[in-house]
């Protein structure tokens, strides 16, 4: 019967991770996921009502389905020893490069003609290859750094073809190339925010690798300088990104166009005040904040739950990132540790940038809020990644009370 | 590996963690606090201003009723039609829409098409105050075409209806497109009529669709109060009609008049002719003027002239204009003289035709002089020198005291806008500047200005036993359920002369009508008292006159005061006696009958009185003939039957004693018709004889008691057909030559 079938297909126990997973981390994930789902429903129902023929549940049903699939994926992923994913690192990087090239030749959805960010598999899903590239780069760098950690952090010399060079140099150049190629490809999509995220993730992974800190100081100084230059001369940016900088500098710029979304997000946050107008009562989601279920969902959260509710969510994100790092620090295996740190950082980076954008601290860029923004594929992937961290936590040396 | 190296990953992880949390989430938290708390109120206000749509719920404007609760002005729901040209995608749609809208709303096709072409606009008003039927038609059209729902829109609006159009329009005024009173009572009582507008505050989404009802608040509208005027529709009609005729007949610029209730000062009628249709106030109602305006080619000049014509027709001249009252003021001089005892009605004077004051010589209108006459007769003759003499006897202080007391130096305070304001030393002589010459000319109503309402208010004080009343138009205010929430109490401003003096004046003024310059205002049985005035508009030019009559009836127990002013008569007669007198007689007759005032005939009057026709129908021909002929009528029998089947005129009609009665023995007999002759210009006897000779009767109206009385109008046009025996109303008047 069923048990027999199961027994036949039983996975080699050597591949499975043992030990309990980290409950605090799981709690943070589930808490964010639950709040995220509820808020996505609240934020989207007017939008759906008007755009999907009165079906207010249109997005919620889809998101909920992907959340269920994602949770299953998370638990399945957490069951395996994390080492087995090393096998996938190189092919995944290759596939993601391929997809980043392919996406440049796919015709974009109507209304987004300049942006080559999405690949649609008709009837199934739409996804962004840059999302996959992020995971691929974290995974590959974690694997590679894990294998060469000692080499990078010593004066070891290696032979590459006819050249002898320090491992450190070799790895540095390799990583710069991997991240650089990805950045260039994503940039070609007309996707500045994606480029920055990949750049940041790559830089952080290299930071973990242990390269000379002066490189990063110089790097950060260069990034800040670049940012200042861009803000002062927006015309050096691609055409689609320029107005966003202009609109960030000049708060009165094109209020019914570029600044519409940001302004309405600010109105929403202001309307919420300290305690919020109550769950479901946002008025700004009534078609004022464009696509309130997407990148600007946090403004609706603020309006309905107030600054207090929003602060609780920020704290949950901080706790999640902290716990991810905590797990990583307590993991012996360098690959597992680096992977956990990379993934945790990714969530923290996206969440913090998103909140900064919604509150107009940073210019409007297309960064979604993990666990909250609508997007089935990316939610599923996120939960899978959380599954990886949970899997790592099983082997981590954490005192459990 | 050294310890530092061993812990390197951990250290870097902690640095990364701190970096993310402090810099990353710190920035977010900063933004959150900044936007949500520090500047929260600012953003909240901006959010509300875009979310909340504040719709005013118009409180229907109160209704204006006449004294008998007939509706004079009423508001009704109407609609605004607008379009969103930015949603029109094809020329074909543009043309279809422009065609439909221009047809239904009676607009110019090209204008509408141009509005449809403003594709940068989302709201263009096509027409406001559209009635229900047209709105329904447009909505049906909108529904029958796909996508037009987004293009054509309707909005609530209100429209003010004036059921009688021109009726008392200069008193009622009118409202603008926003339902705000712009002139007349509509302006003066705007706040009362408007009430409190309600507000419906609803939250709307970015597509301007209402959010759920949780977000709406409703502040109920309070309907404005209704006004019940003292103006009586019937009396107003009599005044309107008489003035309109007078303007035409005398080829005058304007005619204006006021009828006042003696005891209270309430205005029973107030009219300015020509006026305008309150339903369409911007249309120049005077057709001649409109044609003139149409002919002006220069657009600037045309619009200037048009706007002048509009302001002119909106003007309530009974209130806003002022003129030299002329001899009508002699009543006031007489009142002062009698009250102060400087003159008695029987005191004898000798009018030499002129009177010298300092270096000025004042002439009597009768240059040769009236000779020896008593004071009453001098008033009947409107003899200037005698009144100058009375004024001199009073002295400037006393003269001025009465000038002021009768209200000539102040506004009357009537509840109508734009009452002309007397200005010392501009419109009248202040006490300081009232030298002997100024007082002499003032004594017969010249060299100072007064408004019609001032003049009738002053004369009314004589009628009202010396009590000067404050005139008013609004008698009461009613709430929407019809409850009286306010009732005007008549305001007596002061007692200006004693009742005894007033009684003497009433007798004198009645004599002015029965035998003096105001003969034409004479109405048998109703004891009209009054005084005529003929003043030159010296500020404009010579030989430009204002003819007026001001008086009251009945003289022994006055019920109404009346003022009739004909501004610039240009058809031969220019005197108050000739021009304004007959108008006053006509109006007073009608009003007295309407008020059921029992006529009191003198024996003289009774003798001249017309006779009522007896009932002949049903009687034998011989019997009927005998009866009718016995009262003096001429009888004509048509048909061979024995009994009378029909009579013309019908039983109970009053005819002159030698009138004609036609009897038909066959009910279905073809009525005999005759051609109506022109009776104007004939004396009473001539007119009567001519009519009877033609087989018609006349009914005499106006002053008929003198030999030189002539007909000046008839109610059936000459040359038209009329049934034999028909009674034609013929108006008579006598020519008064005193330019008093």
pLDDT, one tens digit per residue, over A96-138 is 999 999 998 887 777 677 777 888 887 777 888 999 999 999 9
Of all residues in chain A, the percent with pLDDT exceeding 70 is 97
pLDDT band at A33 (very low <50, low <70, confident <90, very high): very high
Provide the shortest C-alpha distance from residue A353 to chain B (in Å): 7
B21 contacts A318? CB cut-off 8 A: yes
Of all residues in chain B, the percent with pLDDT exceeding 70 is 96
Provide the shortest C-alpha distance from residue B7 to chain A (in Å): 10
Interface residue of A202, A261, A283, A364 to substitute, partner B, most B CBs within 10 Å: A283
- Write down the pLDDT at residue A6: 47
Over 80: is that where the pLDDT of B704 sits? no
pLDDT, tens digit, for every residue of B79-105? Answer: 889 898 888 888 888 899 999 999 999
Q: Which residues in chain B are contacts of A365 at CB distance < 8 A? A: none
Q: Measured between alpha carbons, how far is B478 from B194 in angstroms, rounded to an integer?
A: 13
pLDDT band at B4 (very low <50, low <70, confident <90, very high): low
Interface residue of A209, A286, A353 to substitute, partner B, most B CBs within 10 Å: A286
pLDDT, tens digit, for every residue of B584-628? Answer: 999 999 999 999 888 887 777 766 667 778 888 888 888 888 888
Question: Quick one: which H or E segment has residue B269?
Answer: strand B267-273
Pairing of strands B529-536, B545-553: antiparallel
User: Chain A within 8 Å of B5 (Cβ-Cβ)?
Assistant: yes
Provide the shortest C-alpha distance from residue A46 to chain B (in Å): 9
User: Domain residues of chain A, as ranges?
Assistant: 29-395
Over 60: is that where the pLDDT of A71 sits? yes
pLDDT, tens digit, for every residue of A160-173? Answer: 788 888 999 999 99
Whether a cis peptide bond, with omega within 30° of 0, leads into B649 is yes
pLDDT, tens digit, for every residue of B306-329? Answer: 999 999 999 999 999 999 999 999
Q: Which residues in chain B are contacts of A353 at CB distance < 8 A? A: 24
Interface residue of A274, A309, A352 to substitute, partner B, most B CBs within 10 Å: A352
Average pLDDT of the segment spanning B702-711: 77
pLDDT, tens digit, for every residue of A279-289? Answer: 988 888 887 88
Q: Phi-psi category of B353—alpha, beta or left, where left has phi over 0 and alpha has psi -120 to 50?
A: left
User: Chain A within 8 Å of B31 (Cβ-Cβ)?
Assistant: yes
Second CATH level (architecture) for the domain B610-734? 2-Layer Sandwich (3.30)
Q: Measured between alpha carbons, how far is A291 from A287 in angstroms, rounded to an integer?
A: 8
Average pLDDT of the segment spanning B459-482: 94
Q: Which residues in chain A are contacts of B39 at CB distance < 8 A? A: 266, 270
- Write down the pLDDT at residue B630: 78
Average pLDDT of the segment spanning B18-25: 90
Using CB atoms, pick whichever of B25, B204, B215 lies closest to residue A352.
Answer: B25
- Write down the pLDDT at residue B5: 61
**Inter-residue contact A131 to A380 (CB < 8 Å):** no
Q: Which residues are paired to B700 by β-bridges?
A: B730
pLDDT, tens digit, for every residue of B215-227? Answer: 667 777 777 899 9
Over 90: is that where the pLDDT of B171 sits? yes
- Write down the pLDDT at residue A401: 41
Second CATH level (architecture) for the domain B322-604? 3-Layer(aba) Sandwich (3.40)
Average pLDDT of the segment spanning A54-58: 87
Alpha carbon of B534 to those of A117, A361, B738: distances in Å?
Answer: 95, 86, 8
pLDDT band at A1 (very low <50, low <70, confident <90, very high): very low
Of all residues in chain B, the percent with pLDDT exceeding 90 is 45
Second CATH level (architecture) for the domain B55-229? Alpha-Beta Complex (3.90)
Higher pLDDT, A143 or B602: A143
Q: Which residues in chain B are contacts of A341 at CB distance < 8 A? A: 13, 16
Q: Which residues in chain A are contacts of B34 at CB distance < 8 A? A: 359
Q: Which of A56-60, A199-203, B51-55, B626-630 is predicted with the least confidence, judged by mean pLDDT? A: B51-55
pLDDT, tens digit, for every residue of B116-142? Answer: 888 888 888 898 888 888 888 998 898
pLDDT, tens digit, for every residue of B507-552? Answer: 999 999 988 888 899 888 889 999 999 988 877 777 889 999 999 9
Closest CA relative to residue A28, chosen from A380, A284, A308, A370: A370
Q: Which residues in chain A are contacts of B205 at CB distance < 8 A? A: 46, 283, 286-288
Provide the shortest C-alpha distance from residue B32 to chain A (in Å): 6
H, E, C per residue of chain A: CHHHHHHHCCCCHHHECCCCCCHHHHHHHHHHHHHHHHHHHHHHHHHHHHHCCCCCCHHHHHHHHHHHHHHHHHHHHHHECHHHHHHHHHHHHHHHHHHHHHHHHCCCCCCCCCCCCCEEECCCEEECHHHHHHHHHHHHHHHHHHHHHHHHCCCCEEEECCEEEEHHHHHHHHHHHHHHHHHHHHHHCCCHHHHHHHHHHHHHHHHHHCCCHHHHHHHHHHHHHHHHHHHHCHHHCCCCCHHHHHHHHCCCCCCCCCCHHHHHHHHHHHHHCCCCCCCCCCCCCCCCCCCCCCCCHHHHHHHHHHHHHHHHHHHHHHHHHHHHHHHHHCCCCHHHHHHHHHHHHHHHHHHHHHHHHHCCCCCCCCCCCCCCCCCHHHHHHHHHHHHHHHHHHHHCCCCCC
Using CB atoms, pick whichever of A270, A274, A281 lies closest to residue B43.
Answer: A270
Using CB atoms, pick whichever of A149, A281, A302 lies closest to residue B36.
Answer: A302
Q: Which residue of A has its CA nearest to B26?
A: A352
pLDDT, tens digit, for every residue of B476-514? Answer: 999 888 889 999 999 999 999 999 999 999 999 999 998
What ipTM did this prediction achieve?
0.89
Interface residue of B8, B47, B213 to substitute, partner A, most A CBs within 10 Å: B47
- Write down the pLDDT at residue A35: 96
Q: Other CB atoms closer than 10 Å to residue A127's CB: what's the count?
A: 21
Average pLDDT of the segment spanning A286-309: 90
- Write down the pLDDT at residue A220: 87
User: Chain B within 8 Å of A164 (Cβ-Cβ)?
Assistant: no
- Write down the pLDDT at residue A3: 47
Using CB atoms, pick whichever of A208, A283, A360 lies closest to residue B12.
Answer: A208
- Write down the pLDDT at residue A133: 94
């Amino acid at each position: 019967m069923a048990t027999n079938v199961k027994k036949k297909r039983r996975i080699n126990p050597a591949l499975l991770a043992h030990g309990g997973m980290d409950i605090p981390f799981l709690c943070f994930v589930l808490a964010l996921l639950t709040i995220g789902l509820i808020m996505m429903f609240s934020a989207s129902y007017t939008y759906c009502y008007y755009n999907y023929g009165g079906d207010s549940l249109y997005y919620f049903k889809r998101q909920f389905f992907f959340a269920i699939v994602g949770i299953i994926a998370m638990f399945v992923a957490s069951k395996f020893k994390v080492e087995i994913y090393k096998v996938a690192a190189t092919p995944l990087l290759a596939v993601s490069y391929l997809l980043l090239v392919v996406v440049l030749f796919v015709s974009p959805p109507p209304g987004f003609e300049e942006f080559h960010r999405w690949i649609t598999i008709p009837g199934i899903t739409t996804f962004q290859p840059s999302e996959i590239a992020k995971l691929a780069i974290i995974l590959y760098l974690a694997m590679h750094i894990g294998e060469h950690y000692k080499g990078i952090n010593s004066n070891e010399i290696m032979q590459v073809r006819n050249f002898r060079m320090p491992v450190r140099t070799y790895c540095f150049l390799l990583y710069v190339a991997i991240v650089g190629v990805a950045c260039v490809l994503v940039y070609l999509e007309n996707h500045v925010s994606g480029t920055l995220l990949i750049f940041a993730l790559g830089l952080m992974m290299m930071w973990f690798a242990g390269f000379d800190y002066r490189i990063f100081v110089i790097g950060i100084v260069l990034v800040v300088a670049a940012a200042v230059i861009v803000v002062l001369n927006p015309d050096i940016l691609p055409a689609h990104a320029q107005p966003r900088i202009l609109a960030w500098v000049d708060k009165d710029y094109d209020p019914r166009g570029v600044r519409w979304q940001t302004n309405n997000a600010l109105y929403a946050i202001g309307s919420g005040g300290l305690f919020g107008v109550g769950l479901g009562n946002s008025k700004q989601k009534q078609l004022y904040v464009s696509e309130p279920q997407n990148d600007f969902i946090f403004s609706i959260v603020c309006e309905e739950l107030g600054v207090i509710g929003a602060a609780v969510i920020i704290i949950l994100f901080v706790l999640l990132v902290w716990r991810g790092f905590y797990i990583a620090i307590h993991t012996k295996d360098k690959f597992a540790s680096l992977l956990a740190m990379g993934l945790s950082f990714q969530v923290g980076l996206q969440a913090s940038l998103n909140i900064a954008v919604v509150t107009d601290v940073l210019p409007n860029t297309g960064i979604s809020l993990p666990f909250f923004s609508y997007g089935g594929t990316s939610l599923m992937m996120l939960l899978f990644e959380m599954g990886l961290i949970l899997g790592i936590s099983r082997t981590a040396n954490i005192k459990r009370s | 590996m050294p310890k530092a190296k061993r812990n390197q990953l951990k250290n870097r992880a902690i640095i990364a963690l701190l970096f993310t949390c402090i810099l990353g989430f710190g920035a977010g938290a900063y933004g959150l606090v900044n936007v949500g708390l520090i500047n929260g109120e600012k953003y909240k206000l901006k959010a509300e201003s875009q979310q909340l749509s504040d719709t005013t719920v118009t409180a229907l404007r109160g209704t204006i009723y006449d004294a008998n609760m007939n509706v004079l002005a009423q508001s009704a729901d109407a609609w605004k039609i607008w379009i969103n040209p930015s949603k029109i995608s094809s020329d074909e749609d543009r043309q279809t829409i422009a065609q439909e809208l221009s047809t239904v709303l009676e607009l110019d096709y090209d204008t509408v098409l141009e509005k449809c072409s403003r594709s940068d606009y989302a709201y263009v008003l096509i027409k406001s105050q559209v009635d229900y039927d047209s709105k329904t038609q447009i909505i049906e059209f909108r529904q029958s075409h796909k996508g037009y729902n987004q293009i054509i829109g309707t909005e609530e609006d209100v429209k003010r209806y004036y059921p009688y159009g021109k009726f008392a329009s200069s008193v009622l005024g009118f409202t603008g497109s926003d339902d705000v009173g712009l002139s007349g009572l509509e302006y003066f009582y705007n706040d009362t009529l408007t009430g409190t507008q309600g507000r419906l505050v609803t939250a709307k989404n970015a597509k301007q669709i209402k959010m759920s009802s949780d977000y709406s608040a409703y502040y109920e509208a309070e309907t404005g109060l209704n006004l019940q005027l003292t103006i009586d529709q019937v009396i107003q009609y009599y005044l309107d009609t008489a003035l309109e005729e007078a303007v035409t007949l005398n080829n005058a610029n304007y005619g204006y008049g006021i009828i006042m209730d003696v005891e209270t000062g309430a205005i029973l009628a107030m009219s300015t002719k020509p006026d305008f249709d309150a339903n369409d106030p911007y249309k120049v109602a005077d057709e001649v003027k409109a044609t003139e305006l149409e002919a002006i080619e220069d657009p600037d000049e045309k619009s200037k002239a048009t706007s002048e014509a509009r302001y002119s027709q909106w003007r309530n001249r009974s209130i806003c204009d002022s003129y030299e009252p002329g001899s009508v003021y002699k009543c006031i001089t007489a009142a002062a003289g009698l009250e102060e005892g400087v003159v008695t009605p029987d005191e004898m004077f000798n009018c030499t035709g002129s009177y010298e004051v300092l270096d000025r010589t004042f002439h009597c209108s009768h240059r040769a002089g009236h000779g020896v006459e008593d004071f009453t007769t001098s008033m009947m003759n409107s003899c200037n020198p005698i009144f100058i003499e009375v004024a001199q006897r009073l002295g400037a202080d006393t003269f001025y005291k009465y000038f002021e007391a009768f209200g000539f130096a102040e506004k009357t305070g009537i509840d109508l806008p734009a009452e002309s304001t007397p200005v010392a030393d501009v419109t009248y002589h202040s006490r300081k500047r009232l030298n002997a010459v100024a007082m002499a000319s003032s004594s017969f109503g010249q060299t100072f200005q007064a408004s019609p309402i001032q003049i009738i208010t002053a004369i009314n004080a004589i009628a009202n036993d010396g009590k000067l009343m404050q005139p008013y138009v609004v008698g009461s205010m009613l709430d929407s359920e019809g409850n009286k929430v306010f009732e005007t109490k008549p305001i007596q401003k002061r007692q200006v002369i004693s009742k005894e003096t007033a009684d003497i004046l009433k007798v004198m003024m009645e004599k002015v009508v029965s035998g003096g310059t105001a003969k034409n205002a004479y109405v048998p049985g109703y004891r009209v008292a009054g005084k005529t005035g003929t003043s030159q508009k010296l500020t404009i030019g010579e030989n430009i006159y204002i003819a007026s009559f001001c008086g009251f009836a009945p003289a022994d127990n006055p019920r109404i005061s009346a003022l009739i002013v004909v501004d610039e008569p240009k058809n031969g007669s220019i005197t108050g006696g000739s021009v304004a007198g007959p108008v006053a007689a006509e109006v007073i007759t009608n009003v007295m009958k309407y008020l059921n005032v029992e006529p009191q005939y003198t024996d003289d009057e009774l003798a001249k009185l017309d006779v009522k026709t007896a009932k002949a129908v049903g009687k034998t021909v011989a019997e009927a003939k005998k009866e009718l002929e016995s009262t003096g009528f001429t009888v004509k029998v048509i048909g061979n039957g024995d009994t009378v089947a029909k009579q013309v005129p019908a039983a109970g009609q009053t005819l002159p004693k030698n009138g004609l009665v036609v009897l038909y023995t066959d009910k279905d007999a073809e009525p005999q018709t005759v051609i109506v002759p022109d009776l104007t210009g004939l004396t009473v006897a001539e007119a009567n004889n001519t009519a009877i000779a033609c087989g018609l009767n006349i009914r005499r109206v106006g002053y008929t008691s003198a030999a030189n009385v002539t007909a000046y109008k008839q109610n059936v046009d000459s040359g038209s057909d009329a049934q034999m025996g028909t009674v034609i109303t013929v108006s008579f008047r006598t020519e008064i030559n005193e330019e008093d």
